[in-house]
Structure 1
Amino acid sequence: MTLVTLIISLVLLTGCNKFLNIKTYTQNNYFLNKYIIQNKIYHWNNLIKAAAHQYNIDEKLIKAIIYAESSGNPYAKSHSNAIGLMQIKPSSAGAEIYRINGKKGQPSVQSLYNPKININIGTAYISLLQKKNYWV
């Protein structure tokens, strides 16, 4: 009796449900389309366009990052203290862009809540990563 129980337990624990004729159905419903994304971030179109032109980055990439990181909320803050639309960490991406631009220190948390500053630093950082070949 215990041997049979052990075998059945092992089959169930290893996920071999094909032996038991159990079918699992998973369905993911994603209700995202380009219109939902555009409506969420339309407030920032002019800032995105200017930053994309300045740093030669595709606008769609910037919009995708903004939507993925903050859903267009300029006051978003992560548990790791990434701030704003593009979720910039002052001590890493912010400090790196400041250093490249000849500034000392790092951007303040308050300044990263400003969409213009946040998009500018985020796009500059994307450009930096592309130049370093971190992204292809």
Structure 2
Amino acid sequence: MKSSQRAAVILLVLMSVFLLLNTPLVWKWMYPIKFQNEIVRASQKFQVDPHLILAVIRSESGFKTDRVSKKGAIGLMQIMPDTAEWIVKQANLRPRDNQYLYDPVMNIEIGTWYLNFLLTRYEGDVTKVIAAYNAGPGKVSGWLTTEQWNGRRESIEDIPFGETRLYVQRVLYYHDRYKNIYDFQLH
């Protein structure tokens, strides 16, 4: 076999592998959804894009309900207990017991309510919302006020906290992926 034929065969094999990997089935395998009903229900209740909820959960816990961070954030959406207590009061939620952050339904409701709160505060700007979900709205508002960061997606590299900068990039990446793979809307 001549080298040009060999190159053509290799190119054909590579193109076939690419086409095989670039199918909806493979993408859904790479970006699965767990707790879909709970996510869709919370997204409808609080008017939050379900793709954003998915991206936050994937980034925060990888869909693990028992995840606890070094800082003490709990559950699917990695909510700090103090923040959760405030949200439960603000949203008039009624947890069954004091382990409610481990309950996927309650954790998703609390996290989604908080995303809605941040979306309202930042006038629907998803990039600012994601930054505030990670660093806190006080920090993000401070960065915006002092012009350390202008809040735009194009200037994520200006976010003063490295952890928040990487978090925003990761959540936006997953948000884009989930939007391209799954087609469900708020009704």
TM over 0.5: yes
1:135 is displaced (CA, Å) by: 5.7
Tell me the distance in 2 between the aligned counterparts of 1:88 and 1:118: 8
Q: Does 1:98 align with 2:88?
A: yes
1:99 is displaced (CA, Å) by: 2.5
Gaps of 5+ in 1: 1-32
Q: Does 1:129 align with 2:118?
A: yes
Tell me the distance in 1 between the aligned counterparts of 2:53 and 2:92: 24
User: Higher relative contact order at CA 8 Å, sep ≥6: structure 1 or structure 2?
Assistant: 2
Cα deviations across residues 79-132 of structure 1 (Å, max 9, x unaligned)? 01100000011102x1221221347xxx83x21000000000000000001111
TM-score by length of 2: 0.48
Three-state SS of the structure 2 residue aligned to 1:78 is: coil
Match of 1:77 in 2: 68
Aligned equivalent of 1:46, options 37, 47, 51: 37
CA gap 1:134/1:88 in 2 versus in 1, 3 angstroms? farther
Aligned equivalent of 2:79, options 84, 88, 91: 88
Q: Is the 8 A contact 2:65 2:75 kept in 1?
A: yes
Match of 2:51 in 1: 60
Three-state SS of the structure 2 residue aligned to 1:126 is: helix
Match of 1:116 in 2: 105
CA gap 1:81/1:74 in 2 versus in 1, 3 angstroms? same
How many residues align structurally?
97
Compute the RMSD of aligned alpha carbons. Answer: 2.1
Q: Does 1:36 align with 2:25?
A: no
Cα deviations across residues 46-84 of structure 1 (Å, max 9, x unaligned)? 000000000111110000000000001001000011000
Three-state SS of the structure 2 residue aligned to 1:79 is: coil
Counterpart of 1:100 in structure 2: which amino acid?
Q
Identity of aligned residues (%): 34
Matches within 5 A, 1:20-35: 34-35=28-29
Tell me the distance in 1 between the aligned counterparts of 2:55 and 2:91: 25
Q: Whose Rg is larger? A: 1
